[in-house]
Amino acid sequence: MKLLGQPSRFIFVGIINTIVGYSFYCFFLRAGLPYYISYIGATIIGVINSYVLNKYITFRQPQKSYLEVVRFVLVYLISIMLSYVILYVGIEIFNYNDYLVGAVNILLNAMISWVGHKYYSFKNRTGNQ
């Protein structure tokens, strides 16, 4: 993946992370858990997966940095709060399908993640393209 720039690597990692996160969201829904619990479980798994893939593939930052982890988690906390609003409004107020709202939510999350991680989580060390 040496030929790919950061945006391309982010998209690649995002596709993998989306598949992982949405698969777990569907798995938890299918197991009978309510959407909000399914979302929490899928998000925890997705955040861990996303951090590792973005750190080493997208932003190529092998150095250990606790500040980087804190920033990464803060971006996701903001994203999670916004996601809950989207899930609640889409499912509870508009009565849209749980699976459809979950999929749309993932796309919005990806946009928030790119901006947050590029300009905040990994901001001091994103010079590597």
Q: What whole-number distance in Å separates Cα of residue 118 and Cα of residue 86?
A: 23
Q: What whole-number distance in Å separates Cα of residue 111 and Cα of residue 62?
A: 24
Its pTM stands at 0.71
Q: Which pLDDT does position 34 carry in this prediction? A: 95
In a domain, 117, yes or no: yes
For residue 119, what are the domain limits?
6-125
Q: What is the mean pLDDT of the chain?
A: 88
Helix crossing, 35-53 with 6-30: angle to 10°?
A: 150
In a domain, 115, yes or no: yes
Q: Which pLDDT does position 128 carry in this prediction? A: 46
Whose tokens are 């980087």? That residue is 68
In a domain, 41, yes or no: yes
Q: How many domains does the chain have?
A: 1
65 to 24, 35, 112: CA distances (angstroms): 28, 33, 22
Q: Is the pLDDT of residue 126 over 50?
A: no
User: Of residues 28 and 63, which shows the higher confidence score?
Assistant: 28
In a domain, 1, yes or no: no
pLDDT digits (tens, 9 = 90+) for 48-81: 999 999 999 998 888 888 899 999 999 989 988 9
pLDDT digits (tens, 9 = 90+) for 33-52: 999 899 899 989 988 999 99
How far, in whole angstroms, is CA 129 from its chain's centroid?
21
Q: Is the pLDDT of residue 2 over 80?
A: no
- Mean pLDDT, range 25-38, rounded to an integer: 95
User: Of residues 109 and 4, which shows the higher confidence score?
Assistant: 109
Interacting residues of 67 by C-beta distance below 8 A, sequence separation 6+: none
- Mean pLDDT, range 78-105, rounded to an integer: 92
